[in-house]
């Protein structure tokens, strides 16, 4: 059965998945890049995002690599695709250049209509204006029986959590304190939503947590 999965989503010790003041110069917010020091050196990041052949192996890379397995489509919030607010900048095609690292259909949640953008390497960005359920349905239909990966950001993951639509979450706790920004856990009761931590593994740079939905009601 197809799953909706969150993979390699990193938060600070105090629960922030992005820093404050996200913009073109700070796509992850002020100090947000510090969250991902476990991920940047890995073979998965170096190869899939930077197109290099080097990178580290080990626990961090194993989790990062697993996040791309059996993924047939992605869902992203608007902020994960663009720093612009309001009407779309039609010249903007994402943060990743002409060949983004997805290589499958990607569905962007937005309030503004925009034509789909076909990129190199098999990535096509589709813009969904009718909500999270519609985006998930379209993603599952496009995934050819594979799972769908929910990439974020924080607000998007919170919406899917509240709707009990996420089947599995791989959260990564980075050993930093941000103090402000977008908090994943704010006014969110994961227990009542039916989520349970079933696995945790530490590396030198982070703690990896696997949460499953145990309540299907």
Burial 162-172 (b: 16+ CB within 10 A, else e): eeeebbbbbbb
* CATH (domain of 120): 3.40.430.10
**Is residue 214, in this structure, part of any structural domain at all?**
no
Show Cβ contacts of residue 97 under 8 Å, excluding neighbours closer than 6 positions: none
Give the model confidence (pLDDT) of 88-108 as tens digits: 888 999 999 999 999 999 999
| Within-domain flag for 121 | yes
- Whether residue 92 lies inside any domain: the answer is no
Question: Which one, of 161, 166, 133, 210, lies nearest residue 4 by Cα?
Answer: 166
pLDDT in tens, 119-144: 999 999 999 999 999 999 999 999 99
Dump pLDDT digits (tens) for 33-77.
Answer: 999 999 999 999 999 989 899 999 999 999 999 999 999 999 999
Number of domains in the chain: 1
Report the C-alpha gap between 7 and 19 in whole angstroms.
19
* In-domain check, residue 167: yes
Residue 47 structural domain: 4-17+27-86+97-205
Residue 9 lies in a domain: yes
* pTM for this predicted structure: 0.95
């Amino acid at each position: 059965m197809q799953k909706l999965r969150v993979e390699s989503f990193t938060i600070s010790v105090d629960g922030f998945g992005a820093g404050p003041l996200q913009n073109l110069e700070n796509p992850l917010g002020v100090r947000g890049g510090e969250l991902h020091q476990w991920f940047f050196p890995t073979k998965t990041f170096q190869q899939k995002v930077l197109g290099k052949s080097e990178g580290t192996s080990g626990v961090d890379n194993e989790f990062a690599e697993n996040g791309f397995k059996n993924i047939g489509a992605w869902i992203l919030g608007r902020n994960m695709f663009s720093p612009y607010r309001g009407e779309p900048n039609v010249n903007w095609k994402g943060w990743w250049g002409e060949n983004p690292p997805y290589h499958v259909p990607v569905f962007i949640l937005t309030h503004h209509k925009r034509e789909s953008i076909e990129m190199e390497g098999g990535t096509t960005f589709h813009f969904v204006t009718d909500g999270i359920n519609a985006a998930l349905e379209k993603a599952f239909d496009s995934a050819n029986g594979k799972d769908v990966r929910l990439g974020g950001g924080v607000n998007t993951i919170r919406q899917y959590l509240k709707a009990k639509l996420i089947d599995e979450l791989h959260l990564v706790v980075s050993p930093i304190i941000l103090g402000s920004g977008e908090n994943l856990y704010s006014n969110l009761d994961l227990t009542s939503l039916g989520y349970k931590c079933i696995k945790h593994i530490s590396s030198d740079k982070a703690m990896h947590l696997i949460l499953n939905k145990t309540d299907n009601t």
